[in-house]
Structure 1
Protein backbone atom coordinates (compact mmCIF):
# COMPACT_ATOMS: atom_id res chain seq x y z
CA UNK A 1 0.00 0.00 0.00
CA UNK A 2 1.89 3.02 -1.32
CA UNK A 3 1.03 6.62 -0.51
CA UNK A 4 0.33 9.03 -3.35
CA UNK A 5 2.68 11.83 -2.31
CA UNK A 6 1.37 14.40 -4.81
CA UNK A 7 -2.20 13.92 -3.62
CA UNK A 8 -1.05 14.02 0.00
CA UNK A 9 0.75 17.34 -0.61
CA UNK A 10 -2.39 18.73 -2.25
CA UNK A 11 -4.46 17.79 0.81
CA UNK A 12 -1.97 19.41 3.17
CA UNK A 13 -2.11 22.59 1.06
CA UNK A 14 -5.89 22.65 1.46
CA UNK A 15 -5.53 22.32 5.23
CA UNK A 16 -2.90 25.07 5.37
CA UNK A 17 -5.25 27.27 3.34
CA UNK A 18 -8.08 26.61 5.77
CA UNK A 19 -6.00 27.34 8.87
CA UNK A 20 -5.79 31.15 8.63
CA UNK A 21 -9.44 31.34 7.55
CA UNK A 22 -10.42 29.54 10.76
CA UNK A 23 -9.14 32.54 12.71
CA UNK A 24 -10.00 35.36 10.30
CA UNK A 25 -13.68 34.42 9.91
CA UNK A 26 -14.65 34.49 13.61
CA UNK A 27 -12.62 37.69 14.09
CA UNK A 28 -14.60 39.41 11.34
CA UNK A 29 -17.86 38.10 12.81
CA UNK A 30 -16.87 39.43 16.24
CA UNK A 31 -16.10 42.80 14.67
CA UNK A 32 -19.51 42.82 13.01
CA UNK A 33 -21.30 42.10 16.28
CA UNK A 34 -19.37 44.81 18.13
CA UNK A 35 -20.19 47.48 15.51
CA UNK A 36 -23.96 47.12 15.29
CA UNK A 37 -24.44 50.88 14.98
CA UNK A 38 -22.68 50.86 11.61
CA UNK A 39 -24.76 50.45 8.45
CA UNK A 40 -22.37 47.86 7.04
CA UNK A 41 -22.97 45.52 9.97
CA UNK A 42 -24.85 42.92 7.95
CA UNK A 43 -22.41 42.99 5.03
CA UNK A 44 -19.45 42.38 7.35
CA UNK A 45 -21.38 39.62 9.14
CA UNK A 46 -22.16 37.89 5.83
CA UNK A 47 -18.49 38.18 4.86
CA UNK A 48 -17.40 36.58 8.15
CA UNK A 49 -19.92 33.74 7.78
CA UNK A 50 -18.79 33.13 4.21
CA UNK A 51 -15.15 32.96 5.27
CA UNK A 52 -16.06 30.48 8.02
CA UNK A 53 -17.96 28.29 5.56
CA UNK A 54 -15.07 28.37 3.08
CA UNK A 55 -12.74 27.37 5.89
CA UNK A 56 -14.88 24.37 6.82
CA UNK A 57 -15.16 23.38 3.14
CA UNK A 58 -11.38 23.55 2.63
CA UNK A 59 -10.75 21.57 5.81
CA UNK A 60 -13.11 18.76 4.77
CA UNK A 61 -11.74 18.76 1.23
CA UNK A 62 -8.19 18.60 2.58
CA UNK A 63 -8.99 15.72 4.94
CA UNK A 64 -10.78 13.82 2.18
CA UNK A 65 -7.84 14.35 -0.17
CA UNK A 66 -5.40 13.11 2.48
CA UNK A 67 -7.48 10.01 3.19
CA UNK A 68 -7.73 9.32 -0.55
CA UNK A 69 -3.95 9.61 -0.82
CA UNK A 70 -3.36 7.25 2.10
CA UNK A 71 -6.02 4.60 1.46
CA UNK A 72 -6.23 4.49 -2.34
CA UNK A 73 -6.00 0.91 -3.61
CA UNK A 74 -4.95 1.48 -7.22
Structure 2
Protein backbone atom coordinates (compact mmCIF):
# COMPACT_ATOMS: atom_id res chain seq x y z
CA UNK A 1 0.00 0.00 0.00
CA UNK A 2 1.44 3.35 -1.06
CA UNK A 3 1.29 6.38 1.22
CA UNK A 4 0.64 9.73 -0.40
CA UNK A 5 1.65 13.08 1.05
CA UNK A 6 -2.02 14.08 1.21
CA UNK A 7 -2.74 10.99 3.31
CA UNK A 8 -0.27 12.28 5.88
CA UNK A 9 -2.23 15.51 6.26
CA UNK A 10 0.43 17.65 4.60
CA UNK A 11 -1.09 20.22 2.24
CA UNK A 12 -0.07 23.64 0.95
CA UNK A 13 -2.24 26.68 1.29
CA UNK A 14 -2.46 28.88 -1.81
CA UNK A 15 -0.44 31.57 -0.03
CA UNK A 16 2.32 29.15 0.92
CA UNK A 17 2.42 27.77 -2.62
CA UNK A 18 2.73 31.28 -4.02
CA UNK A 19 5.58 32.13 -1.65
CA UNK A 20 7.38 28.90 -2.58
CA UNK A 21 6.92 29.67 -6.27
CA UNK A 22 8.38 33.17 -5.87
CA UNK A 23 11.34 31.77 -3.91
CA UNK A 24 11.92 29.18 -6.65
CA UNK A 25 11.85 31.84 -9.36
CA UNK A 26 14.27 34.14 -7.52
CA UNK A 27 16.61 31.25 -6.64
CA UNK A 28 16.54 30.03 -10.24
CA UNK A 29 17.33 33.51 -11.49
CA UNK A 30 20.27 33.80 -9.08
CA UNK A 31 21.46 30.29 -10.06
CA UNK A 32 21.50 31.30 -13.73
CA UNK A 33 23.31 34.57 -12.95
CA UNK A 34 26.02 32.77 -10.95
CA UNK A 35 26.36 30.04 -13.59
CA UNK A 36 26.61 32.55 -16.45
CA UNK A 37 29.20 34.67 -14.59
CA UNK A 38 31.13 31.49 -13.75
CA UNK A 39 30.92 32.44 -10.10
CA UNK A 40 31.63 30.28 -7.05
CA UNK A 41 30.33 26.74 -7.37
CA UNK A 42 28.92 26.76 -3.84
CA UNK A 43 26.58 29.62 -4.75
CA UNK A 44 25.33 27.77 -7.81
CA UNK A 45 24.71 24.69 -5.68
CA UNK A 46 22.94 26.72 -3.01
CA UNK A 47 20.60 28.57 -5.36
CA UNK A 48 20.02 25.50 -7.53
CA UNK A 49 19.20 23.35 -4.52
CA UNK A 50 16.76 25.90 -3.11
CA UNK A 51 15.01 26.22 -6.48
CA UNK A 52 14.85 22.44 -6.94
CA UNK A 53 13.52 21.87 -3.42
CA UNK A 54 10.77 24.47 -3.84
CA UNK A 55 9.72 23.07 -7.22
CA UNK A 56 9.68 19.50 -5.89
CA UNK A 57 7.49 20.55 -2.96
CA UNK A 58 5.15 22.38 -5.33
CA UNK A 59 5.02 19.36 -7.61
CA UNK A 60 4.37 16.66 -5.03
CA UNK A 61 2.53 18.27 -2.10
CA UNK A 62 -1.17 18.81 -2.82
CA UNK A 63 -2.87 22.18 -2.53
CA UNK A 64 -5.51 22.74 0.10
CA UNK A 65 -9.01 22.18 -1.27
CA UNK A 66 -10.87 25.43 -1.11
Q: Same fold (TM over 0.5)?
A: yes
RMSD: 2.4
Number of matched pairs: 55
**1:55 matched to 2:57:** no
Which of 39, 59, 63 is the equivalent residue of 1:65? Answer: 63
Normalised by the length of structure 2, the TM-score is 0.59
Contact 2:21–2:55, Cα closer than 8 Å, also in 1: no
Task: Look at both structures and tell me which one has the larger radius of gyration over its CA atoms.
Answer: 1
User: Which stretches in structure 1 are left out of the alignment for 5+ residues?
Assistant: 1-9
> Structure 2: which 5+ runs fail to align?
1-11
**Could you state the TM-score of these two structures normalised by the residue count of structure 1?**
0.55
Following TM superposition, the consecutive aligned residue runs of length 4 or more in structure 1 with deviations greater than 2 angstroms are none
